[in-house]
Amino acid sequence: MKKLVKWILGTAAVLVILLLLAAGWYLYEFYPRQAESFILGTPEANRHALIATQGSEFKNTVLGHLVQSLASADIYLQVIDVSSLPEFNYNDWSSIVILNTCIANKPSKYVTQFLEEADSLSKIMIVTTSGGGDFDFQDPRIDGITSASRMDKSREIADTLYQRLMGF
């Protein structure tokens, strides 16, 4: 009987360790990282766009395509990490793009706070990535794109954002 109890406890301990290792790997692999901040263009430009993003291979690729497309446009572009969103005033920008990761079916708390405090959502575009790419803000006022982080869609999403940015 003691051997059975020891075997059960040993097996349970191994399973717990494996579960913790799997959870750690998942967080390391998929949890968003801090994004690099930078500015493109001059404040005298006709359009001012704020892009708040999180660091991930997919979001960095979308951002790279978008910045490449905007390089010759008359636009002042400031890129920040999503966690800095509450420090920025909605009214200072012609358009705002948010590249956000949805975790446990919830957007970043910084995104939620920014959206709640914004005077209007009309100049905000949100790209939300989630595991299956099926997250929905359930708010018709939000101009959003949801996607799994599929690299083959990065150019298409960047082109859509470019068209919307230049259409504001």
Residue 143: per-residue pLDDT: 66
Q: Where are the alpha helices (DSSP H) in 50-100?
A: 57-70
| Spatial contact of 131 and 122, defined as CB atoms under 8 Å apart | no
Lowest-confidence region among 12-16, 61-65, 147-151:
147-151
Q: What angle do CA 133, 138, 139 make, to 5 degrees?
A: 125
Q: Between residues 89 and 28, which one has the greater pLDDT?
A: 89
Write down the pLDDT at residue 141: 62
3-state SS record for 66-105 = HHHHHCCCCEEEEEEEHHHHHHCCHHHCCEEEEEEECECC
Look at residue 140 and tell me whether its pLDDT is greater than 60.
no
Answer with the residue of higher pLDDT: 137 or 62.
62
What DSSP designation does 83 have?
Answer: G
The answer on pLDDT for 3 being more than 90 is no
Q: Are 93 and 123 in contact (CB under 8 A)?
A: yes
- pLDDT tops 70 at residue 142: no
Provide the mean pLDDT of the chain: 83
Q: Where are the alpha helices (DSSP H) in 31-144?
A: 57-70, 109-117
pTM of the model: 0.77
Overall average pLDDT of the 122-141 stretch:
71
> Could you read off the pLDDT of 19-78 as tens digits, one per residue?
888 766 765 665 667 778 889 889 999 899 999 999 888 899 999 999 999 988 899 999
